C-alpha cells in the first residue's frame, strides 16, 4: 500500500515535509512500492536546526547522570520494540529477519546503554601549577549531523546518536533514502524515554538534503557512513565551515588464512566475512587469501557449506540470504559477477533468483565464490557490497601482508592461524583500523571501530568516540599577582 506520511521529526514530534520532491520506499524482497516519501525542503532543514538549537540548550544544561538515565531508558524501550522495528528494517533493507531481530536493534540498544552508562563519568582534569592552576572541561560541540547508509539503518542511527547525546550534543539525523523509516521510530523512542524536544531530529531526502546539513553554518560536526566518494564530497563541503568530521566509508578488506588454521573455523569466518546481510557490510573480508597448501581442502569445505545457505523471503525466520537493497544495486552486483567470470573462475553461485515464493519481484542473488589469480581483477580491487567472495592463494607471510595492504582501503582485516605470535605480527603490519584474529565482523560496542586510509577517519563505539563528539576547554586560573613585564 502506498501512503504519504510525515517522516520528519523535530521539536519532539513527527512533521510534514514541505518540498516538492519525493522519493520511493521500495521493499527489496518484492520490488513493490511501500511508501512515497517527501523530502525535506531547505525550510524544513532550518526548522530542524532551530529545533536542535533549542534542544541543545536544555540538554547540555542537564546533569550528565540525568542524560545517562534517559539514554538507558531509550535502550530499554528500543529492546521492547525489537520485533516491530526489526520487521520494518527487513521491509526496508531486504535482510533476513533472523539477523535484524538478533543483531540490528540490539546492537543499537547496546550503544544507548553503553554511552548512557558512561555519560556521568565524562570529566575534565586538574593541573596544579604552583601559584596558579588550570583545569579542563569536556564540552559538547553543539549541533551534530548524522548521515546514514542503508545497510544497518537503526544501528547506524544509534551508533551516532548515543555518543553524541551522551556528550550533551543535539543531533539531526538523515537516514539513507532507501531506508528512511526506522530513524523516525528511534526518535519516538527517545521522546518516550524523556529526551527533551529537539535533541534528536530526523530529516529525509537524498544527497541534496545531506548537503544542506554538511554546509550548514550552525552545524558543528558531521558523521557520515557511506561510500568513499560521498566521504570526499562531505569532507569538502564541511571544510567551508571547518566542521569536525567522522567518515565511516567503504572497504575491500583482506582475510588471511594460514596453513595451520582450524579450517572449519576459517570457513565459518570467511562466510561471516562475506555472506552475512547478503554481503552488504562495509568491513567484509572479500579478499580471502588462503595458504596454497590448504586451498583445496578450504574450498571444498567452503563450497559445501555455502550450498547449504537458505536464500528466501527475508521475513521467514529460517532465511539466511535475503534480497539486495535495490534494483540499481542488484544490477551493479550482477555486472561485477559477469566481469568476474572473465577475470577469474566462478566456483559457485552468482545467479539472479526470481523464483522465491511470494517474492518474485525481489532482488535476490545466490552467494558467489570466485577463485582468482590476478590481483588486478576488478572483483579483487573494487568494493562490490554484495555476496561475492574472491579466494586467492599465497605462499609467504611477507608476500601476503604486502598484497593485503596493496589497496586504497583500510577498514578491516582478519587472520586465521593457531600461531598467535604470527597472528599478532601480521595484524600489526596490516593497514586496517579494525583487525580480527580467528573471527570476523565482530563489533561489540565496547571496542572502537573505524578506518585507516581512504576508508575514512575517526572511530565509532568505545571510549575513543567520546573525543569525536566533544571538545576540551582549558581554563587557567591565576592565584597570584600577574608577573608583568610592563
Indicate the residue among 313 and 460 with the shorter CB distance to ligand NAD. 460
Indicate the residue among 68 and 456 with the shorter CB distance to ligand NAD. 456
Sign of CA dihedral 431, 436, 439, 441: negative
From its phi and psi, is residue 279 left (phi > 0), alpha (psi between -120 and 50) or beta?
left
CA–CA separation, 412 and 285 (whole Å): 7
What residue is closest to ligand NAD based on CB? 210
Helices in 81-180 by DSSP H: which ranges? 82-93, 97-99, 105-118, 153-166
3-state secondary structure of 336: helix
Indicate the residue among 69 and 233 with the shorter CB distance to ligand NAD. 233
CA–CA separation, 472 and 135 (whole Å): 10
Q: How many CB atoms lie within 10 A of CB 312?
A: 22
Which residue, chain included where needed, has cell 537524498?
206
Closest among 120, 14, 139 to 72, alpha carbons compared: 120
- Least distance (Å) between residue 455 CB and ligand NAD: 6
- Least distance (Å) between residue 419 CB and ligand NAD: 30
- Least distance (Å) between residue 185 CB and ligand NAD: 17
Question: Catalytic residue among 99, 177, 248, 280, which?
Answer: 248
- Least distance (Å) between residue 140 CB and ligand NAD: 23
CA–CA separation, 262 and 260 (whole Å): 7
Indicate the residue among 151 and 441 with the shorter CB distance to ligand NAD. 151
CA–CA separation, 283 and 171 (whole Å): 25
Question: In this structure, are residues 315 and 28 in contact, taking their beta carbons and an 8 Å threshold?
Answer: no
Indicate the residue among 172 and 294 with the shorter CB distance to ligand NAD. 172
Which contiguous run of DSSP H or E holds residue 339? helix 327-343
Between helix 181-193 and helix 153-166 the angle, nearest 10°, is: 40
Indicate the residue among 164 and 263 with the shorter CB distance to ligand NAD. 164
- Least distance (Å) between residue 389 CB and ligand NAD: 16
The cell for 179 is: 531506508
Q: Is 248 a catalytic residue?
A: yes
Q: Give me the residues that bind ligand NAD (CB under 6 A), please.
A: 147-151, 174, 176-177, 206-207, 210-211, 214, 224-227, 230, 233-234, 248-251, 282, 383, 385, 411, 451, 456
CA–CA separation, 273 and 265 (whole Å): 12
Indicate the residue among 147 and 404 with the shorter CB distance to ligand NAD. 147
- Least distance (Å) between residue 211 CB and ligand NAD: 5
3-state secondary structure of 331: helix
Which residue, chain included where needed, has cell 538523515?
174
CA–CA separation, 275 and 150 (whole Å): 17
- Least distance (Å) between residue 278 CB and ligand NAD: 13
User: What phi, psi does 444 have (nearest 5°)?
Assistant: -65, 150
- Least distance (Å) between residue 249 CB and ligand NAD: 5
Indicate the residue among 111 and 423 with the shorter CB distance to ligand NAD. 111
The cell for 316 is: 521467514
3-state secondary structure of 311: strand
User: Which residues are catalytically annotated?
Assistant: 248
Amino acid at each position: 500500500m502506498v501512503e504519504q506520511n510525515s517522516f520528519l521529526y523535530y521539536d519532539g514530534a513527527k512533521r510534514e515535509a514541505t518540498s516538492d520532491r519525493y522519493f520511493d520506499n521500495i521493499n527489496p524482497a518484492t520490488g513493490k512500492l511501500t511508501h512515497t516519501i517527501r523530502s525535506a525542503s531547505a525550510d524544513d532543514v532550518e526548522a530542524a536546526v532551530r529545533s536542535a538549537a533549542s534542544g541543545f540548550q536544555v540538554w547540555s544544561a542537564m546533569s550528565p547522570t540525568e542524560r545517562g538515565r534517559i539514554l538507558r531508558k531509550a535502550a530499554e524501550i528500543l529492546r521492547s520494540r525489537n520485533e516491530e522495528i526489526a520487521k520494518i528494517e527487513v521491509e526496508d533493507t531486504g535482510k533476513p529477519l533472523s539477523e535484524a531481530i538478533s543483531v540490528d536493534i540490539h546492537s543499537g540498544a547496546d550503544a544507548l546503554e553503553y554511552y548512557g552508562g558512561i555519560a556521568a563519568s565524562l570529566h575534565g582534569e586538574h593541573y596544579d601549577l604552583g601559584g596558579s592552576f588550570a583545569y579542563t572541561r569536556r564540552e559538547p560541540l553543539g549541533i551534530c549531523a548524522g548521515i546514514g547508509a542503508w545497510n544497518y539503518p537503526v544501528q547506524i542511527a544509534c551508533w551516532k546518536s548515543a555518543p553524541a547525546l551522551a556528550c550533551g550534543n543535539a543531533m539531526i539525523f538523515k537516514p539513507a533514502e532507501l531506508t528512511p523509516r526506522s530513524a523516525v521510530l528511534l526518535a519516538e523512542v527517545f521522546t518516550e524515554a524523556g529526551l527533551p524536544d529537539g535533541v534528536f531530529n530526523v530529516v529525509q531526502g537524498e544527497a541534496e538534503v545531506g548537503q544542506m546539513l554538511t554546509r550548514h553554518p550552525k552545524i558543528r560536526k558531521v558523521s557520515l557512513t557511506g561510500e568513499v566518494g560521498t566521504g570526499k564530497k562531505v569532507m569538502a563541503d564541511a571544510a567551508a565551515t571547518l566542521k569536525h568530521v567522522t567518515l565511516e566509508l567503504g572497504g575491500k578488506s583482506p582475510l588471511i588464512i594460514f596453513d595451520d588454521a582450524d579450517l572449519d573455523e576459517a570457513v565459518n569466518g570467511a562466510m561471516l566475512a562475506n555472506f552475512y546481510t547478503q554481503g552488504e557490510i562495509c568491513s567484509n573480508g572479500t579478499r580471502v587469501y588462503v595458504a596454497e597448501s590448504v586451498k583445496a581442502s578450504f574450498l571444498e569445505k567452503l563450497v559445501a557449506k555455502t550450498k547449504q545457505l537458505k536464500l528466501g523471503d527475508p521475513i521467514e525466520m529460517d532465511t539466511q540470504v535475503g534480497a539486495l537493497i535495490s534494483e540499481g544495486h542488484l544490477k551493479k552486483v550482477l555486472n561485477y559477477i559477469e566481469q568476474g567470470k572473465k577475470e577469474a573462475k566462478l566456483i559457485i553461485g552468482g545467479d539472479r533468483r526470481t523464483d522465491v515464493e511470494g517474492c518474485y519481484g525481489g532482488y535476490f542473488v545466490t552467494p558467489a565464490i570466485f577463485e582468482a589469480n590476478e590481483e588486478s581483477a576488478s572483483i579483487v580491487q573494487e568494493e562490490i557490497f554484495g555476496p561475492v567472495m574472491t579466494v586467492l592463494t599465497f605462499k609467504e607471510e611477507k608476500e601476503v601482508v604486502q598484497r593485503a595492504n596493496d589497496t586504497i582501503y583500510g577498514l578491516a582485516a582478519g587472520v586465521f592461524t593457531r600461531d598467535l605470535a604470527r597472528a599478532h605480527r601480521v595484524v600489526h603490519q596490516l593497514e586496517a583500523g579494525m583487525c580480527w584474529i580467528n573471527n570476523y565482523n565482530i563489533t561489540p560496542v565496547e571496542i572502537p571501530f573505524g578506518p585507516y586510509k581512504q576508508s575514512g577517519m575517526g572511530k565509532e563505539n568505545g571510549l575513543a568516540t567520546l573525543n569525536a563528539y566533544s571538545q576540551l576547554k582549558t581554563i587557567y586560573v591565576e592565584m597570584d599577582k600577574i608577573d608583568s613585564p610592563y
